[in-house]
Structure 1
């Protein structure tokens, strides 16, 4: 299905506002723009969030990469993508800076500017907000892009919210690939179980075996568990990725390349680490 033309005029803005776009928090938040609304320079993605439990709309590869990092971070409590900025305030900033306010070509309507991510974070015992603008490195070579970013920077500065630009060069690529390998397995609620509590019981048995066969390859370990406990082929590898996503099983996410060929000696129980910390 072809995308609709990416032009938003006043009637369209009124409809988006009526729909509650850009409003709400957590699972109730609705992004101002969704993957159906705009053409994307990269691969648009919809991902179910760990922190929010809702579907997030990510309009580029870079947005997806940063989202994985934010959703993995324990201190993050909410992620709002495509967050709309107050047009009256961005218009005032643009005028004071002598910068033309963004508009759609051929349309007199001032564009509703958005910030790629507005994130709630716990820091030093209190909740703060951080805003992120996601750009490719080459985007920053264009003066018009810099003008728009300046409006966005001043907007958040006036609100006392930290703001920064994120480019691919600052993103930890291996960590992001590892998060991607397990992220979609965080939720198992939608999977069919032959009897209630099947996966919960299987996960408990798996955790009890961590550390007992450090020489085994992950796929061998999971296949052995499938055979021993009568699960379908692949079920225990799915459960292992789920337990990694839930951080019940830990490993070096920054340097390892997660795959089923790693030996089990690379993995440890989160509980044992907690006990060592308390000792």
Structure 2
């Protein structure tokens, strides 16, 4: 009990912007698959995710122009409120493993939108949830639904939109493409290339052909600027992430196949 009170007192899972710190880090809890510690492109701080699926939701939110901040592992405080909600709903409140201490519930991603509003995304693999037409719900899935119901009610009381998302509700291909290209955004040693980016985008369009492999288009555009292959691919990734190069992100992107441009 005392250690949890200390976490709360230190401000974990509270606040906003660069000063925000998630309620727990990946080292604190078992991950569901691969965990991720990532540098935030918009927040300027480190984000902690317990699965690839959580990370994919982060990447998609980060790419959206309407999202200005992302808070991961956000604590649902006051601590007693979620316990009261569970009591009102007739749900057994979860406790920390091997203790009788009530947990501090968290939301996976709390998004701050450009208009100042907030939105909350709770991420679960579909395997942890029952099918819509499923009659006999396994105990584990039923328990997951109970905890989600507490979280949903917490945000409902605050008038904040809350959504439950799975891998079936997002484009995994888009998320993987953005994750693949995101390396270019965090390679700070390549920031010196930015003065070339608008010229690179123009040259990419000039060299692009529907059947021409991405490798060839990027190399040709880079050579025209006297850039190395690595530098040219960095500019390609940044141009996509900055919404200056409208490629089709819902088709897998790799070096050796053509990339589709989306004309708007």
Q: Please, what TM-score do these two structures have when normalized by structure 1?
A: 0.81
Residues 123-162 of structure 1: CA deviation (Å, up to 9, x unaligned): xxx4221112111222224221111111111111111111
How much does 1:214 deviate? 2.5
Counting only pairs closer than 5 Å after superposition, residues 33-52 of structure 1 correspond to structure 2 as: 33-52=24-43
The count of aligned residue pairs is: 251
Match of 2:136 in 1: none
2:224 is the counterpart of 1:240:
no
Return closer, same or farther for 1:231/1:212 CA change in 2, 3 Å cut-off: closer
Counting only pairs closer than 5 Å after superposition, residues 22-33 of structure 1 correspond to structure 2 as: 22-33=13-24
For 1:258, which of 233, 236, 253 is the aligned residue?
253
Conserved in 2, the CA contact under 8 Å of 1:43 and 1:61? yes
Conserved in 1, the CA contact under 8 Å of 2:204 and 2:217? no
Return closer, same or farther for 1:27/1:184 CA change in 2, 3 Å cut-off: farther
For 2:92, which of 86, 94, 100 is the aligned residue?
100
Unaligned stretches of 5+ residues in structure 1: 1-9, 274-279
Distance across 2 between alignment mates of 1:213 and 1:106: 62
Distance across 1 between alignment mates of 2:152 and 2:108: 12
For 1:121, which of 113, 118, 124 is the aligned residue?
113
Counting only pairs closer than 5 Å after superposition, residues 127-276 of structure 1 correspond to structure 2 as: 127-141=116-130, 142-188=141-187, 190-191=188-189, 197=192, 199-215=193-209, 216-254=212-250, 256-263=251-258, 266-267=260-261
Distance across 2 between alignment mates of 1:75 and 1:242: 18
Return closer, same or farther for 1:150/1:201 CA change in 2, 3 Å cut-off: closer
Unaligned stretches of 5+ residues in structure 2: 131-140
